[in-house]
Structure 1
Amino acid sequence: MKLYDAIVIGGGPAGITAALYLLRSGVTVAWCEKLSPGGQMLMTEEIENYPGFPKGLKGYELVDLFAAHLDGWSFDKYTDEVAEIVPEKGRNRVRIGDEWIEGKAIIISSGARYKKLGLPNEERLTGKGISYCALCDGNFFRGLEVGVVGGGNSALEESLYLSKLVGKLHLIHRRDDFRAMKCYQDKVCVMPDIDVIRSTVVKKIHGEDSLEGVTLLNRKTGEERFLKLDGLFIFIGFEPVSGFLPEDMKVDEQGFIITDAEMATSIPGIFAAGDIRSKLCRQVTTAVGDGATAANSAFLYLEQLDA
């Protein structure tokens, strides 16, 4: 079983930053990322709030710049799924697919994924009209009529992107007021092709081989109506990618990892960074800061361990 000083789980901005800082510290690193590096940055059309870069920067462009920082460094990359962590002081075991490796320290930066509505037909019609990624699937709905569910930054940001492609967009939000930043709200409210539907939820999803429409329920009046749609994009928040966490690790009510200010979890030698953490702000900039802090904490832990 191969032993590393540190194992970094996740290839988003937090994981890439953590790996970079650890490598620059001279420790041995294993980096675990099942998919392409970048995490949710790959699903972002434009990044407008990353200091030092121009507005209009594409998500994939920033991913390429992040990944390029690891060029020339020597580390082992594992591309299977992390299935289990067994904590042991100084030699934490991690199962990746069918293979076991060990790390004196671990940084978990596995991120979060989009939540689902949990309605019948949702799983069956995913990829057949239902999507969780406007950048990935928006082009399939050019000139068509789509709905977007949600009221946060992601829902409004993706609505603005989709409005440039589709014929008509219905933004469906269960509250009167949006949670998104005002800059997104101001843009959405003046777009002629975006129909804002407030205090309303999706009650049913209709369709056999493809999405045909949804039944909407007005939460104030109790009125139901059918809305014909070609596509439905769902952005109602995130849930942690955490199925491999140790049972005794402290998490919040939603399953996100609880850490201190230095990214330490409840288990010595295991740190967490990025969207997997229990926190309010999940942005590229905060993920980068988390990754740097976690790597620094892991390095200090390794020094104390070997002292």
Structure 2
Amino acid sequence: MEKSVKQVDLFIIGAGIAGLTAALYGSRMKLNTFVLENALVGGQIRNAHIVENYPGFSAIKGSELVEHVRQQAVQAGAIIDEFDQAVKVTLSDKEKFIETETSIYQTKAVIIASGTKRRELPVTEEKYLGRGIHYCELCDGPWYDGKTVAVVGGGSAAVGAVEFLTKYANKIYLIHRSPQLTAEKLQQERLGSYSNVEILLNSVISKINGEEKVESVVVDNTLDKRTALLKLDGIFVNIGSIPRTDLFREFISVSQSGHIIAGETCETNITGVYTAGDVRTKPFRQLTTAASDGTVAALMAEKYILSQQ
């Protein structure tokens, strides 16, 4: 069946904090604003156990913060299409089309806020996915009540996962390949208050054992080359992320790391196409910088649309 072609002013790809903020600003400026999200609205921050570095909230669940911003965007007039995805794009200075699984959209301006996906553990075997290896502690942590788990990674996301899992697991190993953690200092200080957490630095998982599910792992020390066998029920992976840019690379310039190249104006190499959030090249990736990008991208898009009239 032939897909219908729909006209919008501003098409936003991704409904994380960057995309939702852009939707809020775009709608408030009376642009016909459409947001496409291929999963749950909110992106990765939706799964955050607690957020303590977003202005206006001393502490708030990631899902609650997302819902606040989503409601603002919808009340301003934005249309959000959840659980749909772009399958093809055509982006040029003159024309901009986004084809989804159900429709084709012709738009005056585009904001790419597609975010990132979690990097997979290199030694992962497919049979262990959902059977001991997980990428969402908020979703799957309750399965491990009274059990032993490991969190792989050393950043704020990994330490946040540890903090969340302490309410369930009896024992948690935090395994990080570097000599020191990179999480925020306050988070690192709190780790010392958990008696059931053991930190293994300069360490990597080299092998996973188990017939049908994870039963144990081999951990290599990168300094002294010693190995240790840890009996585990589950592993939660937080070792960085990969930008979601494959769909756009034919048209949009990306960096060596795969992030979309754009400066503080969020403008890409194509007129009328902007980018916002973690998918953009920039030195820091925080919720506040995502919201800032969304604001700037929407304002620039409105300025561009007005210039074309």
Q: TM-score, normalised by structure 2?
A: 0.94
**8 Å contact kept, 1:256–1:278:** yes
Matched letter for residue 274 of structure 1: G
How big is each residue's C-alpha offset from its partner over 1:221-260, in whole Å with a ceiling of 9 and x where there is no partner? 1122221100101100111122211424221222111111
The answer to whether residue 226 in structure 2 is matched with residue 223 in structure 1 is: yes
**8 Å contact kept, 1:274–1:286:** yes
Residues of 2 paired with 1:32 and 1:71: CA distance? 13
Instruction: List aligned pairs for 1:43-62, cutoff 5 A.
Output: 43-55=47-59, 57-62=60-65
Map of 1:2 onto structure 2? 6
* Corresponding residue SS for 1:294: helix
Residues of 1 paired with 2:249 and 2:99: CA distance? 12
Q: Percent identity among equivalent residues? A: 35
CA-CA distance at 1:2 after TM superposition = 1.8
Of 245, 248, 253, the residue aligned with 1:250 is 253
Residues of 2 paired with 1:228 and 1:248: CA distance? 48
The answer to whether residue 307 in structure 2 is matched with residue 304 in structure 1 is: yes
Structure 1: 4+ residue segments shifted above 6 A? none
Residues of 1 paired with 2:190 and 2:79: CA distance? 45
Map of 2:15 onto structure 1? 11
Instruction: List aligned pairs for 1:1-307, cutoff 5 A.
Output: 1-55=5-59, 57-79=60-82, 80-97=84-101, 99-121=103-125, 123-306=126-309
CA-CA distance at 1:12 after TM superposition = 0.9
CA-CA distance at 1:185 after TM superposition = 1.4
**8 Å contact kept, 1:132–1:234:** yes
**8 Å contact kept, 1:113–1:241:** yes
CA-CA distance at 1:14 after TM superposition = 0.8
Per mean C-alpha deviation after superposition, the further-off stretch among 243-252 and 167-176 is: 243-252
Residues of 2 paired with 1:159 and 1:222: CA distance? 26
Per mean C-alpha deviation after superposition, the further-off stretch among 158-167 and 103-112 is: 158-167
Residues of 1 paired with 2:293 and 2:28: CA distance? 17
Residues of 2 paired with 1:248 and 1:54: CA distance? 41
**8 Å contact kept, 2:74–2:80:** no
Per mean C-alpha deviation after superposition, the further-off stretch among 28-37 and 267-276 is: 28-37
CA-CA distance at 1:10 after TM superposition = 0.7
**8 Å contact kept, 2:93–2:270:** no
Residues of 2 paired with 1:190 and 1:301: CA distance? 52
* Corresponding residue SS for 1:160: helix
Matched letter for residue 58 of structure 1: K
* Corresponding residue SS for 1:281: coil
Residues of 2 paired with 1:130 and 1:190: CA distance? 26
| Structure 2, gaps ≥5 residues long | none
How big is each residue's C-alpha offset from its partner over 1:180-239, in whole Å with a ceiling of 9 and x where there is no partner? 121111111342111111111010111221111111111111122221100101100111
CA-CA distance at 1:287 after TM superposition = 1.0
* Corresponding residue SS for 1:69: helix
CA-CA distance at 1:75 after TM superposition = 4.5
Residues of 2 paired with 1:294 and 1:207: CA distance? 48
Residues of 2 paired with 1:194 and 1:25: CA distance? 49
Q: TM-score, normalised by structure 1?
A: 0.94
Residues of 2 paired with 1:160 and 1:30: CA distance? 36
Residues of 2 paired with 1:89 and 1:78: CA distance? 25
* Corresponding residue SS for 1:47: coil
Residues of 2 paired with 1:83 and 1:202: CA distance? 36
- Cα RMSD over matched residues? 1.5
* Corresponding residue SS for 2:9: strand
Residues of 1 paired with 2:48 and 2:230: CA distance? 28
**8 Å contact kept, 1:130–1:231:** yes
Matched letter for residue 37 of structure 1: V
* Corresponding residue SS for 1:298: helix
Residues of 2 paired with 1:150 and 1:266: CA distance? 34
CA-CA distance at 1:5 after TM superposition = 1.5
